[in-house]
Structure 1
Amino acid sequence: MIERKIKKEILQLLEEFPAVGLLGPRQVGKTTLSEILAEELKPTPVYLDLETPSNLARIEEPESYFDLQTGKLIILDEIQRVPELFAILRGVIDRKRKKGHRTGQFLILGSASLELLKQSSETLAGRIAYKELTGLMIDEVGNEKTGELWLRGGFPDSFMANSDEASLRWRQNFISTYLERDVPQFGGRVPANSLRLLWTMLAHNQGTQLNVAQLGANLGVTAPTAKRYIELLEDLLLVRVIRPWAGNIAKRLVKSPKIYIRDSGLTHALLNIATLDDLMGHPIVGASWEGFVIENLISNLPIGATYWFYRTAAGAEIDLVIEKGSKNRIAIEIKRSIAPKVSKGFYIGCEDIEATHKYVVYPGDERFSLGDNVTAISLPEIMNVISQKNEINKTAR
């Protein structure tokens, strides 16, 4: 069993809020994490899987049932199946608050969806805190497993499979199941074949700027329809759209966002890449590594930090810009080479945005200077740097 770093945060939030929402794609480990929490908490929480008829029968009269469980944490799994519960939860939470049970009432698990967030934000405002459970990250599996995690991705069953072949089979079945079973639940009438084709196109174009019109033309659908498909995948936490930095500088900046398939293992499964040797010889290797690094970095951002990419029409470019306040700005270039070199466009971009820190993330272990205050650094070390709330301020002085 791999210890999830988010567990401590969930326990802390349960001590501060009446309800905590844990969101993430299917099979990422939400249920397993809730079971581990249930073993540690006293009194023992009540667990309800809202996809099972027997558990649904227990909440035919939800208010009465929840009132009977006063003093216990109630875990509601796959709550998007019963969205009408949100309106009921508000009244239950407020009644329990009046009786002195102000925190730790509900842990809500759900595969993210716009509808889920809309329902809860309208009815549970001020009563719920959200956390996203990502796939496994480097700081959870260990630095020595970097290659394996990159190839297989962060879904626990894929990462811990007995072989690369078994892992690939799991991911390919996951993709098929998502398209045939889960996407229709969230997205209505979305043709599975069209969405698979879009997903595969995005894998081939990992880390490129989003061209909705071109994607729509390739799919044989309108641009608004293609945009809706992409938003659905983004909402299900399967793709990440990174917006361009748009500070007040006198340069022509690009306006189109960049798009990544969030899990590197799914990227490789869509492209039928089975082994690390296959990956190293594939044209996607650089973009795949970039997406893998970005997901690990974003997972470690402290509260309040924001992320962007930077690109001008003239070619100045920074892969990832992390901002913590208006005066602390980290510029990050991502290279797959063991002997990284920095392009002129990166230096220009750093001057444009007035970067306070400049790093090149590469697959080696040593930390060394590349000149002009640019530091080559490993992925685990830069994750440690950006996760420390005061590190940016401290090193900027």
Structure 2
Amino acid sequence: MLTLPLSPGAPALPRMAQISVQASLADTPVVLIQGPRQCGKTTLARTVAEPAGYGYISFDDDNLVRAARADPLGFVTDLPPRMVLDEVQRVPDIFTSLKLVVDRDRQPGRFLLTGSADVLLLPKLADSLAGRLEVIRLHPLAQVELRKHEACFLEQLFRAEFNMAATQRMGIALAELVVAGGFPAALTRLPARRRAWYQAYVQTLVQRDVRDLARIAALDVMPRLLELAAGQTAHLFNVSELASPFGLSRPTVRDYLTLLERVFLVDVLPPWHLRHINRLVKTPKIHLGDTGLASALLRLDAAALHANRALLGQLLETFVFQELRRQASAHSEAIAFYHFRNRDDHEVDIVLEQGAVLAGVEVKASGTVRTEDFRGLRKLQEIAGERFACGVVLYDGEASLRFGPGLFALPMRTLWSDRSERGFG
């Protein structure tokens, strides 16, 4: 079992995004770190900003929120030259004032913002700081961050270079990682106490951030809707199944899910497709933002999850997807994520696109891998042609195996192993 060695005075774990934040502050007037509440945004912002002499304001203080809303331009104008503005989604009116102040003085690193909601989905806000703002997404902790390892998997994946090494099966230890998730505060708790933290987290977030974003009459629906979404994680998005228990219209439930997406609790994974191929399924998948949260909503501990192979398969796919996204957020080149499925039931859980190059990842909870497990990857390889770099089946096995040109079966722990552990050359 992996737990966070944190105490109130302990140093924070190094985050992959820190280099990106520092680089952005060196050449961009406004930098926004956004991600779910309690994922470490404030800690990262302070780690970067305090040595550089930044001031700090948190809009979790309702008095500051009222002051900023009453006179946004005056509020921003009176700030010291370099400031951290925490939880800025609570005062969206301030963005236009930030633009005016930045345009008077375009020095890099003027403001470092954090936000627990995707404010840039609002067109006026996105436009107000166009050309002046860089956005960096921060996720809950990745496995490589928890182990203080260098993130190497994506580099190997797009090069199709894997060392054929042997390791040990993880068994229930893998279920423990899935149930633990990546929120720092939850990881400081004993496993039996984590569910209570996640439940309180959901209630606080719904009552605060979701209420700030939209006036919803049936606010009590949101935690139940999130619980249903947890049960559908890694499935094709089916709004009818999510709407039916509530007696709400499909458009209303879709709007509610969009709100959950805006506060980074739900991710919608689009399908990969080509215009000239008509037999590809174009329905997105839904993933919970963190498997610790999903497990708590489904009332699962590691033993129960390990015993329920269907749910383990679902949550493990989400776990791998989120680990890949967390590693990709610090990758040198932008990576887009999709899933692949056609009407003949060929499917690949996760498709990664870097420039014109594709790679596929299939996730299996079992300890064995078969030729049939590569069926979807081979179809994707056939369709993508020269664009296809590599296909991987991650499974809870012991051996790294080659199943053809550019096709590999790899133990699950390869996803977060260090270079020295992989023989990466």
Establish whether TM, by shorter chain, passes 0.5: yes
Return closer, same or farther for 1:325/1:34 CA change in 2, 3 Å cut-off: closer
Identity within the alignment, %:
29
Per-residue deviation at 1:53? 4.9
Per-residue deviation at 1:73? 2.0
1:85-234 matches, cutoff 5 A: 85-97=94-106, 102-114=107-119, 117-142=122-147, 148-161=176-189, 163-234=190-261
Aligned twin of 1:34:
45
Q: Distance in 1 between matches of 2:111 and 2:14?
A: 22
Match of 2:297 among 270, 292, 295: 270
1:225-374 matches, cutoff 5 A: 225-274=252-301, 276-282=302-308, 283-301=310-328, 302=331, 303-326=333-356, 328-341=357-370, 342-354=373-385, 355-364=388-397, 366-374=399-407
Q: Distance in 1 between matches of 2:391 and 2:14?
A: 32
Return closer, same or farther for 1:57/1:213 CA change in 2, 3 Å cut-off: closer
How many equivalent residue pairs?
Answer: 377
Contact 1:83–1:116 (CA under 8 A) maintained in structure 2: no
- Where 1:232 maps in the other structure, the secondary structure is helix
Match of 1:51 among 28, 44, 60: 60
Per-residue deviation at 1:187? 2.6
Per-residue deviation at 1:209? 0.6
Q: Distance in 2 between matches of 1:203 and 1:65?
A: 41
Q: What TM-score, normalized to structure 1?
A: 0.87
Deviations 1:326-376 (A, max 9, x none): 2x2112111112222315343223322333211112245643213454112
The higher-RCO structure (CA 8 Å, 6+ apart) is 2
Q: Distance in 1 between matches of 2:260 and 2:336?
A: 21
- Where 1:154 maps in the other structure, the secondary structure is coil
* 2:44 maps to amino acid: L
Q: Distance in 2 between matches of 1:380 and 1:45?
A: 39
Q: Distance in 1 between matches of 2:376 and 2:95?
A: 49
Per-residue deviation at 1:379? 4.8
- Where 2:95 maps in the other structure, the secondary structure is helix
RMSD (Å), alpha carbons:
2.7
Q: Distance in 2 between matches of 1:243 and 1:106?
A: 33
- Where 2:320 maps in the other structure, the secondary structure is helix
Per-residue deviation at 1:221? 0.9
Contact 2:261–2:267 (CA under 8 A) maintained in structure 1: yes
- Where 2:403 maps in the other structure, the secondary structure is strand
Aligned twin of 1:388:
none
Per-residue deviation at 1:137? 0.3
Deviations 1:312-331 (A, max 9, x none): 111111111111222x2112
Return closer, same or farther for 1:54/1:178 CA change in 2, 3 Å cut-off: closer
